[in-house]
Structures are given as structure tokens and as C-alpha cells.
Amino acid sequence: MTVRRIMGIETEYGIVDPAGTHTAEEISLDLIAAYSHAVGDLGFVDDVAWDLAGEMPMLDTRNPIVDRRHIADRNRVHQVASLTAQERSWQRGTTKVLHNGARFYVDHGHPEYASPECISPRQAVIYDRAGELIMRRAMDRLQEETGSGAVVYKNNVDGKGAAYGCHENYLTSRSVPFDDIVEALVPFLVTRPVLVGAGRVGIGPASEEAGFQLSQRADYIETIVGPHTTYSRPIVNTRDEPHAEPHLHRRLHVITGDANCVPSNTLLKLGMTSLLLWVLETSGLPEEWKSLRLTDPVAAVRAVSRDLSLTEALELADGRRMTALEIQSVYQQTAQALVDQQINGYRPDVETLDILDRWRDTIGLLSDNWRKTVGDVEWATKLALLEARRERDGLAWDAPELAAMDLQWSDIRSGRSMPERLMERGVFETLEADEWIKEAEFTPPAGTRAWFRGELIRRFPEQVYSASWHSIVVELDGGRLIRIPMTSPIAGCLAHLEDRMGECSTVEDILTLVESAGQNILADPDVYAKGQP
């Protein structure tokens, strides 16, 4: 058993422009440009565009017609768009591939940071926090250049009806029946916010009711299963775009989670979800989990989020009633039992045991009294601070001061971030050293293909024409473009070549090295000819 697998987080950040002179789209574009200028001053060339070839975000895993082996071929050989100089400049302005292997781009009017592929929950937490540094550096530079007072927030709602996502991605085996994934995930995701919700002031999409709830996303979940992410949002997303060998893998795209500002909550969120997938991959769907089917999952999402007592019992399909904490306990105990059996004599790694302990302990403390988790659980800590302010100043839940406090919680500016200040005071656990996070801004994670992507961009930025999750296009002399496929997130990372990469002084040397390792290099002059201005 292990929590280790390929995973990552995509975070759309909220924007507030006090001056009100620019749209969110304009500010997002300005932030990307400002970040490029800032890292340019540090000696980093930041001019690699995202390659959209082969991306098919509307593929639905429930569609039996699509030949997924054909998709694999298309991911490898689909044409690179031959752009004019003007078009190429525009595309680079809206999306960037960063030196750490991540993607920084504009999505639905928000600046979004999509972390590089990581190999474990702890590594993913580090690169998620590196995204905060990137946004902070972009904000600071934009203010220096233009005097803009725009502020970026790591949250999911504006309190006026708009929502934006924090999406988790997990690579899992396609051998697991999707129906089993749905059956296991629905009760799990419905009740997960009781442990890792970020908390929110306001009830209803536009805060129609005064109050506090555990989850920022709950009011925007409208259906059980579906492919969409910006409307008719489902509990289980069926998007089937693995960015890997599609006949072997699927990418589970989780859209119900909150953007956590507390690292230990991000760790637990990723870890226990990964463990659930491990159970499905190695043992199938446990009978204990089958019995957790909810009568009305969508209604239960809201019920869990609004139940500050943590005692509301949800109706199950078999007529029983269980609280969110009781349901989470079934999941944890099932995973724990499989660990205790030490399947095939395999002893779990330390990170896996740590997640199991955190999962169990958090359930236990919340079952006793939620106030015992202040300093551990994000929503509980936020609620305790808000309650203290309410009591001190005699405020009702609809007081603008409380909404402002809620917003300040997600302010990522240095010296303004409340969770960061609480970590400095020892209230919240500090999972990783600041040096690791700073290093992660410019260094790709080892152990995945992100390392090769980031290393190639670092060493040969002028010759990397574009990049995506599953390939890199490099430009040789004369404008000839060559695609290096990386459809395997682990084996395709070419990490075994790390020691020899230092011997390469040109991109051509890299290509020779890659081919010597048995990796096919794809080129079609008719398809990959560079566009002329």
C-alpha cells in the first residue's frame, strides 16, 4: 500500500482590483507578463508556449465509441500548429511553461497555476506552495511596473455567485471499472470536506443566507456524475484525458475540493484520496464501501457543508443513517485493515503510514469536539477566529467585517496571509522548509517526466518551441521541429538519463541520448514546418 502515485493540483486564483479599472482577464494576462519580466531579471528565459496539440478535454470516460489506442497515437503525432510570429507571441502571452515544469496561464478570466507532475502528496504540497510564490512574485512585479493594486487570492468563491476551481489530478489504472470508482468516490467526496474543507462565510452561491459552512465548493455542485467543470458541476468528473498511455491509465480529475491555504490539509486531502484509489486498484471495491451509497448525494454535499455540529446523519440507500465522520471512518478503517494485513508482505512507506494516522486522528478529534482541531483543520481554525471576532465586536454573520476576514485568510501576499502567519507562530504545522518551496519555483520535481521538461527548458530555452504534459517540441537549425513524446509520466521522464544530461551541449545531443534510451523521436517535415511571419 502506498499513497505515492503521479498527482498534481490546478488552482485558479481569485482577483480583486480595488481600482476597478481592469477586467480579470486583463489582470491575468498582465500577471503572466509581469512574472516573465521578474524571472528574466533573475536570468531565466521564460518564453516557452504551451502545445495544445493532442488535448481533448471533452472526452468522456463513459463514451464506449472512442478507440483509446488511436488517442495514444494522436497524442504522439498530431500536428504542431504552425503559427505566425504574431500568433506565436499571443499564445506565449496567455500561457507559459515554467522552469519547474508547471503551467501558468489564463483560464476563464483567472490566473491559473497547474503544478508539474509530482510523485507523492508531500511533493505535490511543495509544488502547490511554489505556485503561491509564483503568484506573489507576479503581483509584486506588476505593482512595480504599473502601480496596480490588484490582489490575488487562493480561494474558490467571490461571495457574489462566481466560483473557480482547485482541481486535483490522480493517475490511476484503467483496469479499475469506472463504476467502481464512482461508487467509492461519491460518499467519500461528499463527506471529505468535514476533514479538509477550507471554510467559507456565506451560504448559497451568492451568499443569499448569512452563516458559515465547511466547504467553499458545496453550493456549486449540481449533479452526481458528469464531464463539466464550469457548469452542472458533478461530484465525480468523467473527463477522460489521461495525458498518458490511455489504454493503461486514466487521470481522475477531482473538482469538488477547496483551495486549501493550510499545507497539512492539502497533504491529507491528496493522501487519503490516493489511498482510496490504491484500495480499488489492488483489492477492488470493498463491501464496506458498497454499503455507503447515499440516497441523495447532491443534497448531502450541502448538508455536510452546513452542519457545524458534525452530527447530521445522512440517509443511505439501505435505510441506515450515518454522519459524515462515521462515513469517513469506514473508509479509513478499511484502508487501515488492508495495511495491517501487509498484502504480499509489503510494508507501507512512512508517508503512507503518516496519512493513515492523520486521517484517523482528525476523525477522532472532530468526533469529540471540533475545537480540538483548531490549528490542524483549516475550516475549524477559520471558524474559531471568526467566532472570536463575532463575540468581541457583537457581529452577526452577515457583517462585512467577517466577509473581509474570510477574504484576508486567502490573501497570499507576504505578511498578509493569515495561515502563513499562523505557521510562523507555530499554530499550524510547517510541513516543508521554506528553502524547499523556493527551490521548487525554478526546479522541476525529480521522479517524473516534469524533470525532463523543466531541465530542457532550463538548458535550451531558445530551442524549446513548445511543451505539453505528454510531449516537448524542439526546434533545430533551419526551423525543423521535432517532437519528443513523453506519454509515460514516470518511465517517460527519462530520469535514468539525469547523470548523462550534463554531457549534452546541444539539443541534438539530447535527441541522440533520448534515442539511445529507446525513445522514439517523431518528425514530419510537412506537419512540423515552422510557420513564417
Cell of 181: 470508482
What is the enclosing helix (H) or strand (E) of 499? helix 498-501
The CA-CA-CA angle for residues 325, 403, 139, to 5°, reads 105
CA distance 308 to 2: 32
Residue that the C-alpha cell 455540529 belongs to: 309
Q: Contact at 8 Å (CB) between 180 and 284?
A: yes
CA distance 228 to 234: 7
CA distance 102 to 10: 10
What angle separates helix 400-409 from helix 378-393, to the nearest 10 degrees? 150
Cell of 533: 511571419
Respond yes or no: is residue 107 known to be catalytic.
yes
What angle separates helix 24-41 from helix 121-146, to the nearest 10 degrees? 100
Cell of 39: 524571472
The CA-CA-CA angle for residues 443, 433, 254, to 5°, reads 65
Q: Contact at 8 Å (CB) between 129 and 472?
A: no
The CA-CA-CA angle for residues 488, 230, 114, to 5°, reads 35
Write the burial class of residue 232 (CB in 10 Å: 0-12 exposed, 13-18 middle, 19+ buried). exposed
| Alpha helices, DSSP H, located in 394-444 | 400-409, 418-424, 434-440
Give strand pairing partners of 103: 97, 114
Catalytic residue among 30, 46, 51, 107: 107
What is the enclosing helix (H) or strand (E) of 508? helix 507-516
DSSP 3-state of 106: strand
Q: Contact at 8 Å (CB) between 6 and 118?
A: yes
Residues serving a catalytic function are: 107
